[in-house]
Amino acid sequence: MRLTGSKSITFRLTLLFAAVSTTVLLFLGVLVGALLEQHFEELDMELLTGKLELIQHALEKVRSPQDFEPLRQHLDDALVGHPGLLVSVVSNGRNVYATGEDTFPSSLLLTDRTKRVLPVVWEESQGRHYRGISAEVRTGMTNSASAMVGVATETSHHAHFMSSFRMTLWSVVGFAALVSGLLGWLAARRGLAPLREIRQEAAEITANRLDHRLSVASIPVELAEVAVTLNAMLARLEESFRRLSDFSSDLAHELRTPVSNLLTQTQVILTRHRTPDEYREVLASNVEEFERLSRMLSDMLFLAKSDNQLIVPNREKIDLREEVGSVFEFYEALAEEKNIRLTLIGDGLISADRLMLRRAINNLLSNAIRHSSSDGSITVYIDNSDESVTILRVENTGETIPPEHLPRLFDRFYRVEASRRRFSDGAGLGLAITQSIMRAHGGGAFAYSEGHLTQFDLRFPVAGYD
């Protein structure tokens, strides 16, 4: 299936490469252009200032109006080799010297100026560009007469150069954008190749191949965490699928037996006419099977609610010693029948749902009595020495549970071995329900077994106590 409506990472990286390179080149081009224009202006100003000082020095030698005539010849000789240079000298409103046919703007030669005018740039009618300055210069005449001197140089060649520079700049920027985009696309494609490999490996993972894992060693460090996370997710999925498969098989097995018993008994009773007592006996037996089915369905409904966080404990203050003592009274006769000693040590207060707590304790005690050896003992410890948790520990003597089975004791319908398969009407859901009750209270249930001693801990967080 091809996804639409979203841009690929390769496309975005290509745009990013092109945008970054274009921006950098434009910035450099604008910067270089500004520096060039500044440099041209500095060269022009150096030329204009030097010519203005030359003219000022010449005007200082003018002692009378008649000296202006040789001044013209002197200036012509001094300005040889500067065809783009304009000079204008105005004295008493009369233009005593001028070069070229182009004229200065009127604002540059105002006679009331007493200081040098800032550079002025203008364009003549024929398209020539000029940059000029002017200043009021005193002459050597006794009446302290002054003259307005304007000096300008043509900048058309500068303008042509900058125009060519900008054209070249835009061409280079456009070409660089295309090249950087192409290189960016190639780099992105190559850099994202491990992602495509991950996609191909992930496509090979199916419900029948959940044991397959993504290769972490052959991908870059930046993607290693992603692969590790995906592998962890696959491990959880594999475990969940395995549990679901086992649960389905166990559920079918557990339901098949009572349903088969009901069907067989009903078919047998219907083969011929029976007495009322015989019908009553079969119906009583069927009631037991229905009760067993009802308990199983009720337990499964409870576990389904627990899986969806729909179990909300109705918390109240509970004395654990008093509660365990009440459960002891219920199992006292069964324990005496198997000659099992019941012992309660310690006390403590917790905040919990009383009905749920009693159900969890019942499950542990019935399980302990079921699997305790004759003449054995069951000891319940209440440990509140830890400020953060209160522990209810049920310990019984009997056959040791192999270590490989301990992690799965709280799975639904899980039984360790055939010898533990059925000693009562239990369906293998008691420990799973106990774990669900503890999780609803924010705690947990844990199992330990060694040296013919099996121990189950219920841990209640003290934070839940009001």
Q: What is the pLDDT of residues 72-118, one digit of tens each?
A: 778 777 777 777 788 888 877 777 888 866 677 777 776 554 455 57
Query: Each residue of 210-263: pLDDT tens digit?
Result: 777 777 776 777 677 778 888 888 888 877 777 777 667 767 767 777 788 788
Q: Is the pLDDT of residue 275 over 80?
A: yes
At 395, is the pLDDT very low, low, confident or very high (cuts 50, 70, 90)? very high
Which of 132, 147, 409, 439 minimizes the C-alpha distance to 308?
A: 439
Q: Is the pLDDT of residue 126 over 70?
A: yes
Mean pLDDT computed over 321-340: 91
The CA distance from 283 to 285, in Å, is 5
Model pTM above 0.75: no
Does 164 or 61 have the greater pLDDT score?
164
Q: Is the pLDDT of residue 1 over 60?
A: no
Does 332 or 8 have the greater pLDDT score?
332
What mean pLDDT value characterizes the chain?
A: 81
Q: Is the pLDDT of residue 394 over 90?
A: yes
Q: Is the pLDDT of residue 41 over 80?
A: yes
Report the DSSP pairing between strands 117-123 and 315-319.
Answer: unpaired
Q: Is the pLDDT of residue 346 over 60?
A: yes
Mean pLDDT computed over 152-176: 86
Straight-line distance from the first to the last Cα atom of the chain, in angstroms, rounded to the nearest whole number? 55
Query: Quick count: other Cβ atoms within 10 Å of Cβ 56?
Result: 15
Q: What is residue 359's DSSP assignment? A: H
Fill in the amino acid letter for 249. S
Q: Is the pLDDT of residue 273 over 50?
A: yes
At 465, is the pLDDT very low, low, confident or very high (cuts 50, 70, 90)? very low
Query: Each residue of 305-317: pLDDT tens digit?
Result: 877 777 888 899 9
